[in-house]
Amino acid sequence: MRLVLASNNAKKLAELKALFAPLPLEIVAQGSLGVAEAEEPHHTFIENALAKARHAARATGGAAIADDSGLCVDALGGQPGVASAHFADVVLPVGEREVQRRVQDEANNALLLQRLQGRPDRRAKFVSTLVAIRSADDPEPLVAVGRWQGEILAAPRGAGGFGYDPLMFIPALGKSVADLDAATKNAHSHRALAAAQMLALMHESWHLG
C-alpha cells in the first residue's frame, strides 16, 4: 500500500519510513509526486495535520499521512504550539535553507527564554499529532498523539538536535534533547510515541501487518 507523506522534509520521511517498517507500506513524499505544501491556517495540531493529509490525498488520489508537531509550554498557555517553527518574528538572511533555519531557531529560543523569565513553572511538552486517511473523503481518519514531557532550561545545553532541543530537558533521561544521540531520541520522542500508536491503529482498522 502506498502512503503519501504530506511533507517534503527528507529527515521526517526517513524517520517515518523506519518507524513504519513493520507494516507493508511504501511511504513517498508528496514533493516527489509534484504536490505542493498545504496551507496550515488552524490553531490546533490535529486540524493542521488533517488539512495536510486531505490535501495530499486529494492531489494523489490515495492514502496519505501527515504530522503536525511543536512545543507546548504550560506557563505560556500552550504556546508556541502550532507556531513553534516561526515563534519569533525575524528577518531571515537570503541564502541556504539550513542557515535560515538556524537563525530562526536561535530567535525562537531567545524569545522563549524571554517569555519565561521570572516564571518558576518550566514544564513543557513536545507534541506530535499524526493523521492518516485512506482517501481525501475518508470519514474515519486515524489519529495518534505523542507527548514528550520535559522542562525548559534557563540556557541552551547540548550540541545536537535542532529547534528547541537545546532548551528541552527530559528528567527521565537526565539530559537535554540536544544531548541525546539519534537512536535514543528516536526511541523516546513524541513522534516515536505517536508512530507506535499509529502502527496499532493501522493494524486494527486498516488490517495491515
Active site residues: 68
Say if residues 67 and 155 touch (Cβ distance below 8 Å): no
Query: In whole angstroms, what is the distance from residue 141 CA to residue 52 CA?
Result: 12
Instruction: List strands edge to edge, sheet with 26-29.
Output: 26-29, 2-5, 63-73, 123-133, 142-152, 168-170, 175-176
Query: In whole angstroms, what is the distance from residue 111 CA to residue 168 CA?
Result: 14
Cα dihedral 203, 130, 103, 96 sign: positive
> In 10 A of CB 51, how many CB atoms?
19
Rama region for 13: left / alpha / beta (φ>0; ψ in -120 to 50; rest): alpha
